[in-house]
Amino acid sequence: METAAMDALVTCAGIVGAAAFGGMMIPQVIHNHRRSSTAGLSAGLVVLWHLAALLYIAYALAERESLWVVTSMGCFCATLAVLEAQELTFARNLERWLWPLALLLSALSVAASAALGTLLRTAPLSALFAFGTVLPSMLFAAGFFPQFFIFIRRRSIAGYSFLVTFIDVLGSGANTVVIGAQMETRDMFFVSSAPFITIIGLHVVLLLIAAAVILSKAEPEHAGDAPLSAELRFHDAVERRVTRGTSPAASEPR
């Protein structure tokens, strides 16, 4: 019964993880399509995440990890390829080439992952972990920093779909559950799930920066105090004249 329950948990978490990673970037794709622009989304984030996903797929293939994890990252690569195609075509008015370019980038991703996975299968453990989990974790983390910079430099969160953050955290959590259910030791769990844990942690930082930007934009409400103070000074002057028995109209030359 325990094995059956664990298998059911892995299956459910795997479906959630694959669906989340497959659909994570779709809100951003739709958002970009409606505006025919990728402004507000960091191209650096997309490219670095794509490289990280390719490396992790290679690691998962080399280690023969769960098919759910491979499927999750594969779907993720496909949607990132669409975003990259949008970045290349929207700015050059070449939208008719968007889907052929996205398919080409997806095919290249599959070929690169398969080739690298074959190489890592015969690599030493140190190289396997370095290229398969440590480097992807670093690339996922680095991918967030261009987006942080855009938020801070523009003092705006416009152009970024926060549904991406919700789905990414959901998918990363589900994939972490899948990995945890199959790992025999705690050390191996943290090694294999490091990219997903990194993603969750950096999304928390992104939300904190976004909240700070929103609050900083709400503070300048005091900018309206200057006209209000001038108006109050005028009314004070009127009151003083009325108190002295004069009015503004009475002081006007006839």
- Over residues 64-91, the mean pLDDT reads 90
- Over residues 154-169, the mean pLDDT reads 86
State the pLDDT confidence band at 31, using cuts at 50, 70 and 90.
confident
Q: Nearest 10 degrees: CA dihedral of 184, 117, 141, 204?
A: -50
Cα-based distances in Å from 193 to 85, 158, 189, 208, 235: 29, 31, 6, 23, 67
Domain boundaries, the chain: 2-221
Q: 247: Cβ–Cβ under 8 A, 6 or more apart, which residues?
A: 238, 241
Query: What's the mean pLDDT when you consider all of the chain?
Result: 83
State the pLDDT confidence band at 42, using cuts at 50, 70 and 90.
confident
Per-residue DSSP letter, 133: I
Of 176 and 95, more confident: 176
Alpha helices, H only, the chain: 2-23, 26-35, 43-62, 67-90, 98-121, 125-129, 135-154, 162-182, 186-218, 225-243
Contact, 53 vs 76, CB < 8 A? yes
State the pLDDT confidence band at 2, using cuts at 50, 70 and 90.
low
- Over residues 178-192, the mean pLDDT reads 81
Of 254 and 147, more confident: 147
Most confident of 32-36, 87-91, 138-142, 234-238: 138-142
Q: Which helix (H) or strand (E) holds 155?
A: none
* 98-118: b (≥16 Cβ within 10 Å) or e: beebbeebbeebeebbeebbe
Task: Specify the pLDDT at position 219.
Answer: 56
Q: Alpha-carbon torsion 143, 178, 122, 112, what sign? A: negative
Share of the chain above pLDDT 90, in %: 41
Of 200 and 41, more confident: 200
- Over residues 41-63, the mean pLDDT reads 90
Q: Alpha-carbon torsion 48, 101, 27, 211, what sign? A: positive
Name the residue among 84, 39, 65 with its Cα closest to residue 175: 65
Residue 78 CA to residue 224 CA, distance in Å, equals 48
Task: Specify the pLDDT at position 86.
Answer: 93
Task: Specify the pLDDT at position 94.
Answer: 86
Task: Specify the pLDDT at position 143.
Answer: 86
State the pLDDT confidence band at 28, using cuts at 50, 70 and 90.
confident
Residue 143 CA to residue 163 CA, distance in Å, equals 17
